Structure 1
């Protein structure tokens, strides 16, 4: 069961990258649903920007929902302590782009550190579907849970009596 005690980690959905991502708009919509759901349910959030001077900043709709302290600049493909990513959380729910590069390498670092990792398949994208599919398969074999946006949101909720249920259900219906 995915816990609210973990962290949602959004990897590099940047303005110059996302237009090239297969199903890029759908990926962005799901990232936004996860981000809004995390806010409703008090789940910690961090996001990364890879070489923002070249690839651009995070997509404006995503950046606008984050605090400056939640955005980590990076030049390594993997987000890690050298980029300011805290390894204090027991689990990480990871989404973003590209699945086979920065998402993959970040998840592998987290797994090697003994963290529980869930990759949100429908909120991850690559330029080519085969790269995304192979990365998800590799991550699954390495021990990551492969999940969907709806799975994450419903597992965070746990029951229909949660005060955030209606708000989260609205996010799900918007997917």
Structure 2
């Protein structure tokens, strides 16, 4: 399952690298849609921060959206209920890397999930906070990965029937 944390309209403009984050998360989402990878979004206090940005290719028919008011999404029962059974692998991306993304990653690790921290699809207000979040996630048991590694891992082979469609997303 792909977990996209707090990619919200009033938060993104304040992030270092927000445009790159949106592009990388968009690529992940397009690939997830093509490859039937389930997607779960979180929205931190959407009344204050707005909903998920409209520029992301969200298929609301298949994606789940969980409203939360905790920084660690695992403290929201609706989030935990939306997850597949542990020890499934969760690919996690979003904002802010050092707050909601990291705390959610630590929470799902405690619940017994395997975590792939998509390092080129996270952002924070300050680059130093993002760097610390990536290192902390790694130290605590998340595996670091990138958007392209994730997508090629989901396909597994150049013989995948959607290979050409997915390859077009990356080029």
Q: TM-score range by the shorter chain?
A: over 0.9
Alignment partner of 2:33 out of 35, 39, 42: 39
Q: Is structure 2 residue 71 aligned with structure 1 residue 77?
A: yes
Give the C-alpha shift of residue 169 in structure 1: 0.6
The match for 1:25 among 16, 19, 24 is: 19
TM-score (norm 2): 0.93
CA distance in 2, matches of 1:8, 1:97: 14
Partner in structure 1 of residue 165 of structure 2: 167
Runs of 4+ residues over 6 Å off in structure 1: none
What are the equivalent positions in structure 2 for 1:63-102 lying under 5 Å apart? 64-67=58-61, 70-80=64-74, 82-85=76-79, 86-89=82-85, 90-102=88-100
Aligned residues: 167
Q: Which residue matches 2:146? A: 148
**C-alpha distance after superposition, 1:15-74 (max 9, x if no partner):** 011111111011101111111111111111110110011111110122743338611100
Q: Please tell me the root mean square deviation across aligned C-alpha atoms, in Å.
A: 1.5
Residue 111 of structure 1: CA displacement? 0.4
Gaps of 5+ in 1: 1-6
Give the 3-state SS of the residue equivalent to 1:103 in structure 2.
helix
Alignment match of 2:9 (pick from 11, 15, 21): 15
Distance 1:24 1:69, change over 3 A: closer
Q: 1:138 to 1:67 in 2, by over 3 A?
A: same
Give the secondary structure class of the aligned counterpart of 2:92.
Answer: strand
Q: Does 1:62 align with 2:56?
A: yes
**TM-score (normalised: structure 1):** 0.91
Q: In 2, are the aligned partners of 1:12 and 1:96 still within 8 Å (CA)?
A: yes
Contact 1:118/1:146 (8 A) holds in 2:
yes
The question of whether the paired residues in 2 share the 8 Å contact of 1:100 and 1:132 is answered with yes
3-state SS of paired residue (1:60): coil
Distance of 2:154 and 2:167 partners within structure 1 = 12
